Structure 1
């Protein structure tokens, strides 16, 4: 483990040292620059997008920067750089930063969202919650629609709750019985085990009187769920791609998509400002009770257990939905 002189302020940060290997190091505590704040982190969610770098692909460079890969952090501002006027030391915030597997991280002032007093003490991994709000907005789900959600992990469960509370009828499709139980608790009207392609299609056909679904959200990130999503979307319906698709190219049935006149939405955002807008919406939704993610935080780990958190995110043991690294 690295050591620093007693005169140097230090923080703890996870460093990925190789494929499936990490350690916690003591590194210099960063100081915020012009327009920045420093956040003493309370926790950071673990994202499935970390799994490819964790596996050690050829393009990955080790060791990572201290705290690297962590981007779902929240905590309390403990230092402010020059020029920051609308934030103060002591403000509790969620932030879009990228070195949050650490006790502290630096954020630009425009990538920080304040958390209201009624959320004191509650975890708030802002990036995935904001992602769910952005997907929900782009899906344009309305009362009375039938919505199929394929893949009930953390994201799919959030979207099930949002769609149900908007007045839609949700058909939840997932391979794990535990996930289907979660979907029912989140308000799903019907659940289908993701086992046989044609059996699922026939069940949805029956449940919708042959019309299929106005909205279908693919939240898995694999070829088969993407194929299934097209089959379940009705004519002039909207197919929303929300799963993580970064492990290689995909094929689509363009003939069917064209014949049915589908609107296909890639709901992955890239503009940080849009992410921040989503986080703000998530704060409002949680504060108002429209969204309650608390039952979905199923596994917590200390910073030294980041390797276990990443492995659980990969392996999905029974009862797993979301891993959180807790830093205080």
Structure 2
């Protein structure tokens, strides 16, 4: 194995980045070194570059990228149950191990979770380190490009639909913003039996894509008659669950408005904007719920990998393009400018 590798390095002070030669890390106790096959470009990666995300917990210099797949290149001391060459997905976060949840073995609920590519180096690189106990094995019939996006672009929507939103069979669901997250919310809501599924986006092409991927109807969220159309599509009930995959004040408040009494709004997209719940008298009388969502449970990735393997979940249309590590800037630009309306652009080091 060579001594160095190519990796993207982000400099927090200047918010600039470059692809550089850096030492290949050595796996410590309980860790594995992974040769990266693919790693996705996510909007949260862009948010770090733009300065929306960040803070004191982000190192001064860090490698980005947290949706990865690859093969184990080296085992650290004490690792059992894994072998070099195994196809794996690393978890996109590390539990702290000392909070009340971790002490009780509830690592998925860790109160101080360290996020890959924000607290420690990610996978826009030829190699990356991961804790062995957070790995997911990739079935032989699952393509590695699709496996990579399971670590966030699909598992975060899965968590939103199944855990936070608790969507039940026959419930009417609306999804605002049919990009990398919203696309998979549509597919997963259909998989669990939601009916109908309504998609909301300002782009004609994206609305058509939502219909092709499982939405029953798609609307322009700027339509002045939107509430009447939603009522017609749901037989007068409005929505049981609304997912805001955008995170803007307008999308959050519109989703809340489209809920039936007792309905649930799940916020998945994030921004610095501040929506309101309206008068507490109205909010309380209608018994609406506004729920924040982030991430997924560690076991969700394996569930999704098995669904893809069994043919229950088709992610073949989710890979919009693949760029080399040296061209990661072009991938960032395309996602930032929505050039071609990509669902996911992957980096292949």
Alpha carbons of structure 1 residues 63 and 37: separation in structure 2 relative to 1, 3 Å: closer
Q: Which runs of 5+ in 1 are unaligned?
A: 1-6
Give 1:235's match in structure 2, choosing from 240, 258, 261. 261
Greater mean alpha carbon deviation, residues 278-287 or residues 167-176: 278-287
Equivalent residues in 2 for 1:152-171, closer than 5 Å? 152-168=178-194, 169-171=196-198
Q: What is the match of residue 118 of structure 1?
A: 141
Q: What is the match of residue 4 of structure 1?
A: none
CA distance in 1, matches of 2:333, 2:126: 21
Alpha carbons of structure 1 residues 320 and 120: separation in structure 2 relative to 1, 3 Å: closer
1:119 alignment partner, SS class: coil
Give 2:50's match in structure 1, choosing from 55, 65, 73. 55
Q: What is the match of residue 278 of structure 2?
A: 253
CA RMSD, Structure 1 to Structure 2 (Å): 2.3
Q: Deviations over 1:35-66 (max 9, x none)?
A: 00000001111111122221256977999535
CA distance in 1, matches of 2:200, 2:145: 29
Q: Deviations over 1:50-102 (max 9, x none)?
A: 22221256977999535x22111110000001111011111101112431111
CA distance in 2, matches of 1:228, 1:149: 11
CA apart distance, 1:108: 0.6
Query: How many residues in Structure 1 have an aligned counterpart in Structure 2?
Result: 314
Greater mean alpha carbon deviation, residues 28-37 or residues 141-150: 141-150
CA distance in 2, matches of 1:267, 1:162: 16
Q: What is the match of residue 321 of structure 1?
A: 343
CA distance in 2, matches of 1:51, 1:310: 7
Alpha carbons of structure 1 residues 58 and 224: separation in structure 2 relative to 1, 3 Å: closer
Alpha carbons of structure 1 residues 203 and 19: separation in structure 2 relative to 1, 3 Å: farther
Q: Is the 8 A contact 1:145 1:214 kept in 2?
A: yes
Q: Is the 8 A contact 1:230 1:257 kept in 2?
A: no
Q: What is the match of residue 3 of structure 1?
A: none
Give 2:215's match in structure 1, choosing from 161, 184, 188. 188
Alpha carbons of structure 1 residues 242 and 63: separation in structure 2 relative to 1, 3 Å: closer
CA distance in 1, matches of 2:273, 2:290: 19
Instruction: Tell me the TM-score normalized by structure 1.
Output: 0.88
CA distance in 2, matches of 1:58, 1:149: 24
2:79 alignment partner, SS class: coil
Alpha carbons of structure 1 residues 9 and 133: separation in structure 2 relative to 1, 3 Å: same
Q: Is the 8 A contact 2:334 2:340 kept in 1?
A: no
Q: Is the 8 A contact 1:15 1:25 kept in 2?
A: yes
2:141 alignment partner, SS class: helix
Q: Is the 8 A contact 1:133 1:279 kept in 2?
A: no
Instruction: Tell me the TM-score normalized by structure 2.
Output: 0.83
Q: Deviations over 1:101-148 (max 9, x none)?
A: 111000011221110111144432222221121111122222222111
Q: Does 1:16 align with 2:10?
A: yes
Q: What is the match of residue 127 of structure 1?
A: 152
Alpha carbons of structure 1 residues 121 and 173: separation in structure 2 relative to 1, 3 Å: same
Give 1:27's match in structure 2, choosing from 17, 22, 35. 22
Alpha carbons of structure 1 residues 20 and 45: separation in structure 2 relative to 1, 3 Å: same
Alpha carbons of structure 1 residues 15 and 161: separation in structure 2 relative to 1, 3 Å: same
2:82 alignment partner, SS class: coil
CA distance in 1, matches of 2:202, 2:273: 22
Q: Is the 8 A contact 1:130 1:276 kept in 2?
A: no
Q: Is the 8 A contact 1:141 1:215 kept in 2?
A: yes
CA distance in 2, matches of 1:19, 1:281: 40
CA distance in 2, matches of 1:74, 1:20: 26
1:123 alignment partner, SS class: helix
